[in-house]
């Protein structure tokens, strides 16, 4: 009985096997090429796993986020965050991102350095000597100037009588310390941007004036002096026969005159008059 010989099948695979068996050099060349391709693929995969070489991810939007939020994002994406500038924004807390580079939406590699501008935690300060002249100036104008130049508010603390125009600055305080008044200004105080200055403004009512001595003056003279001190003549009592009140003389007044005593502006003085000048009057 003849021995059975194994032969490749007549299919396509069989023909390929038969070809490789008969062509030794071609077979070795193909094997070498396959081995080389597999080696390249293995090295590429290893490099990507080890260094993530060539991987790019979309840069997230960090604007208006706190540094705690940025740190969480940076840790997950392997970013290196660098703060290269800080700016004070009145009304915003410190550590809030204002700008970023690269911008959001761009594609970057992991491990990329991200440069940020953030808000300051501590406010900027400036010396009080840098303030413009405030004493005697109109409050509404200076309030706008101080806000625009220094980011500082000015609020009204109170009013005081002053013979000049109303609503002009008489005194300025910062954290309870006087920094501006009629005697000058405190140059040693430092003011933080975003803070508030308290001011005292002028008003015409509510002040006090010395009580005038009206005795022995004519009623016309007494009225003129009282009005010049922003006082009013109240009740006028005629003593005896008074033919012409305006030329009559003051014999008594209430409140009475006393040196170094004062009365509120707008208050009234009552008078008693006689037609003839008293003998004890000069």
Per-residue DSSP letter, 23: -
Chain length of the chain: 282
For residue 44, the model assigns a pLDDT of 74
**What sections of 78-122 are H helices per DSSP?**
none
End-to-end CA distance of the chain: 175
Helix and strand tally (H, E) in the chain?
A: 5, 17
Under CATH, what is the fold of the domain 56-119?
Answer: Trypsin Inhibitor V; Chain A (3.30.10)
141 Cα distance to chain centroid? 19
CB 191 within 8 A of CB 150: yes
**What is the rounded distance in angstroms from the CA atom of residue 46 to the CA atom of residue 29?**
26
Q: What phi, psi does 135 have (nearest 5°)?
A: -65, 130
How high is the pLDDT of residue 53?
A: 46
Cβ neighbours around 231 below 10 Å, total: 21
DSSP 3-state assignment of 177?
Answer: strand
pLDDT means over runs of 10, the chain (282 residues): 48 63 64 78 68 68 89 86 82 86 85 86 87 93 93 92 88 93 88 93 82 94 91 93 94 92 89 93 89
Domain spans in the chain, listed from the N-terminal domain onward: 12-51, 56-119, 125-203, 209-274
Among positive and negative, which fits the CA dihedral 22, 23, 27, 30? negative
- Which tokens go with 65? 């986020």
Answer yes or no: same fold for 56-119 and 209-274. yes
The CATH fold of domain 209-274: Trypsin Inhibitor V; Chain A (3.30.10)
State the pTM of this model.
Answer: 0.51
Give domain 125-203's CATH architecture.
2-Layer Sandwich (3.30)
With contact defined as beta carbons under 8 Å apart, do 226 and 212 qualify? yes
Whole-angstrom distance, CA of residue 205 vs CA of residue 46 = 89
């Amino acid at each position: 009985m003849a021995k059975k010989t194994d032969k490749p099948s007549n299919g396509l695979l069989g023909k390929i096997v038969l070809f490789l068996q008969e062509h030794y050099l071609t077979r070795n060349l193909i094997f070498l090429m396959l081995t080389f391709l597999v080696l390249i693929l293995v090295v590429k995969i290893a490099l990507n796993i080890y260094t993530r070489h060539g991987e790019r991810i979309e840069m997230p939007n960090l604007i208006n986020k706190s540094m705690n939020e940025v740190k969480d994002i940076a840790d997950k994406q392997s970013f290196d965050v660098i703060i290269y500038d800080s700016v004070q924004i009145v009304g915003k807390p410190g550590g809030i991102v204002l700008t970023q580079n690269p911008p959001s939406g761009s594609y970057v590699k992991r491990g990329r350095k991200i440069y940020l501008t953030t808000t300051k935690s501590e406010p900027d300060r400036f010396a009080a000597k840098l303030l413009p002249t405030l004493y005697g100036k109109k409050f509404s104008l200076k309030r706008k100037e101080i806000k625009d130049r220094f980011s500082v508010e000015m609020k009204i603390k109170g009013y005081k009588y002053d013979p000049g125009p109303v609503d002009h600055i008489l005194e300025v305080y910062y954290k309870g310390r006087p920094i501006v008044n009629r005697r000058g200004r405190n140059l040693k105080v430092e003011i933080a941007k975003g803070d508030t200055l308290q001011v005292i403004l002028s008003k015409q009512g509510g002040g006090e004036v010395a009580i005038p001595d009206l005795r022995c003056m004519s009623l016309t003279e007494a009225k003129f002096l009282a009005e010049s001190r922003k006082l009013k003549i109240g009740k006028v009592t005629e003593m005896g026969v008074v033919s012409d009140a305006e030329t009559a003389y003051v014999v008594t007044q209430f409140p009475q005159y006393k040196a170094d005593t004062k009365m509120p502006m707008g208050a009234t003085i009552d008078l008693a008059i006689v037609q003839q000048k008293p003998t004890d009057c000069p």
